[in-house]
């Protein structure tokens, strides 16, 4: 507790008198910043369990400021002239999530919302803030459209690739191509073939036969052309 008291005195840069920190039995550390003429919430350490900010000049709370006080068990914001416009939305959401923690403050302005509890305000009370909400939806809609465009472009490329014709050119370097080149030259493969088909083999010469019957080469080329749009270009 002495550690938190020291931090409270060091990290509480407020106008007027500093926040008064004291240890409350079984409750932790209380930071009393009431009636100091504060216009912003002072920066305090997360170890603070009670924060008294009543009767100051607060008109709003900086978004995310209260989220840093993880151990907060009591917050008193009453008696502050809160102006309930778009800047109060963060405090409204925080108060709704932490009703048991806070002494509920009320709006001081504008006149149509005066004396209304901040946690009871609805989206209908902030018509000028709807545009910001819609802009978020507009941003998400643009991202969705871009994603759909990319997916459509990918599908179009795939369809284009399927319908494309590939031409394999055979130049002078391939004129000497013979079926002999299709034989398996790997010793391991030849050994496995002999073990697997030894009883059916008529001789070692069977292993020297080409793996492809060149008589069916025209049929293979025809299938490549019709089903895969691959053409063989002869020199």
- Express each pLDDT in 163-216 by its tens digit: 776 665 555 555 554 444 445 555 555 555 555 555 555 555 555 555 555 667
Q: Is the peptide bond before 220 cis (omega within 30 degrees of 0)?
A: no
Number of domains in the chain: 2
**Do 54 and 48 form a contact (C-beta atoms < 8 A)?**
no
> In 82-204, which ranges are E strands?
82-83, 102-103, 107-109, 166-169
pTM for the predicted model, two decimal places = 0.50
Nearest to 8 by CA among 39, 36, 50: 50
Token code pair at residue 206: 């069977």
Q: Name the strands in the sheet holding 74-76, side by side, starting at the edge strand that comes first in the sequence.
A: 20-24, 28-32, 48-52, 74-76, 102-103
Signed CA dihedral, 23, 27, 29, 35: sign only: negative
- Is residue 27 located within the same domain as residue 87? yes
- Express each pLDDT in 33-74 by its tens digit: 999 999 998 888 778 899 999 999 999 999 988 988 888 999
**Domain end position, chosen among 93, 123, 153:** 123
**Domain end position, chosen among 98, 123, 148:** 123
Token code pair at residue 42: 């002072």
CATH of the domain at 64: 3.80.10.10
Q: What is the pLDDT of residue 85?
A: 93
């Amino acid at each position: 507790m002495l550690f938190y008291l020291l931090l409270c005195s060091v990290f509480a840069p407020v106008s007027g008198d500093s926040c008064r920190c004291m240890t409350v039995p079984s409750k932790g550390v209380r930071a009393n910043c009431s009636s100091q003429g504060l216009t912003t919430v002072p920066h305090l350490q997360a170890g603070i369990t009670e924060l008294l900010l009543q009767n100051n000049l607060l008109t709003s709370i900086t978004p995310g400021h209260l989220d840093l006080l993880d151990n907060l068990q009591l917050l008193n914001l009453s008696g502050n002239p809160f102006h309930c416009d778009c800047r109060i939305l963060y405090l409204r959401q925080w108060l709704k999530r932490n009703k048991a923690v806070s002494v509920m403050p009320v709006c001081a302005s504008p006149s149509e919302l005066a004396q209304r509890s901040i946690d009871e305000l609805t989206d209908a009370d902030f018509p000028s803030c709807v545009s910001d909400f819609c802009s978020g939806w507009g941003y998400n809609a643009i991202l969705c459209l871009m994603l759909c465009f990319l997916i459509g472009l990918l599908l179009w490329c795939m369809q284009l690739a399927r319908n494309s014709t590939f031409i394999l050119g055979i130049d002078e370097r391939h004129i000497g191509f013979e079926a002999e080149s299709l034989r398996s030259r790997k010793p391991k493969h030849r050994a496995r073939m002999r073990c697997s088909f030894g009883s059916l083999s008529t001789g070692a010469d069977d292993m020297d036969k080409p793996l492809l019957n060149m008589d069916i080469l025209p049929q293979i080329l025809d299938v490549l052309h019709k089903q895969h749009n691959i053409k063989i270009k002869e020199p």
